[in-house]
Amino acid sequence: MNTAPAEGYVDGFVELGGGGRLFYRREGRGEPLLLVHGFGLDHRVWAPQWPALAAAFDVISVDLRGFGRSSLPGAAPYAHHEDLHALLDALGVERTHLIGHSLGGGIAASFAVAHPQRAGRLVLSAPLLRGYTGLGALMALLKSVWQIAARDGLDAARAAWLGAELFAPSLATPGGAALLPPVMADYSGWHWQHRDPETGLEPPLAERLHGLLAPTLVLVGTRDLPDFVQMGEALATQATNARLDLLPELGHGPSVENPDLFNRLALEFLNHGR
CA distance 261 to 95: 26
Average pLDDT over every residue of 162-171: 97
Asked if the structure places residue 19 within a domain, the reply is yes
Task: Identify whether 179 is part of a domain.
Answer: no
Phi/psi of residue 109, each to 5°? -65, -40
Q: How many domains does the chain have?
A: 1
Residue 107: inside a domain, yes or no?
Answer: yes
For residue 273, what pLDDT is reported?
59
Decide if 34 is inside a domain: yes
| Domain span at 78 | 9-134+196-270
Nearest to 58 by CA among 4, 15, 112: 4
Q: Is the pLDDT of residue 265 over 60?
A: yes
> 81-123 pLDDT, tens per residue?
999 999 999 999 999 999 999 999 999 999 999 999 999 999 9
What are 232-247's pLDDT values in tens digits? 999 999 999 999 999 9
In the prediction, which pLDDT does 8 show? 79
- Residue pair 257/176 in contact by the 8 Å Cβ criterion: yes
In a domain, 106, yes or no: yes
pLDDT, tens digit (0-9, with 9 covering 90-100), for 28-50: 999 999 999 999 999 999 999 99
SS3 (DSSP) at 251: coil
3 pLDDT tier (thresholds 50, 70, 90): very low
CATH code for position 246: 3.40.50.1820
| Per-residue pLDDT reduced to its tens digit, 57-73 | 999 999 999 999 999 99
Residue 92 lies in a domain: yes
Question: What is the DSSP code string of 27-44?
Answer: EE-BSEEEEE--TT--GG
Which pLDDT score is estimated for 7? 54
Residue 19 has pLDDT above 90, yes or no: no
Q: What angle, 0 to 180 degrees and rounded to 10, lies between the N-to-C axes of helices 174-185 and 154-162?
A: 160
Statement: residue 2 has pLDDT above 80: no
**pLDDT value of residue 6:** 45
Residue 26's SS3 state is strand
What's the chain's average pLDDT?
95
pLDDT over 50 (residue 4): no
Q: What is the pLDDT of residue 242?
A: 98
Asked if the structure places residue 157 within a domain, the reply is no
Distance CA 167, CA 224 (A): 9
User: Does residue 221 carry a pLDDT above 50?
Assistant: yes
Widest pairwise Cα distance in the chain:
53
Distance CA 111, CA 90 (A): 16
Say how many residues make up the chain. Answer: 274
The alpha carbons of the chain give a radius of gyration, in whole angstroms, of 17
Looking at residues 243-267, what average pLDDT do you find?
A: 98
Q: Within 13 Å of residue 259, how many CA atoms lie on the same side as its CB?
A: 15
Classify residue 126: in a domain, yes or no.
yes
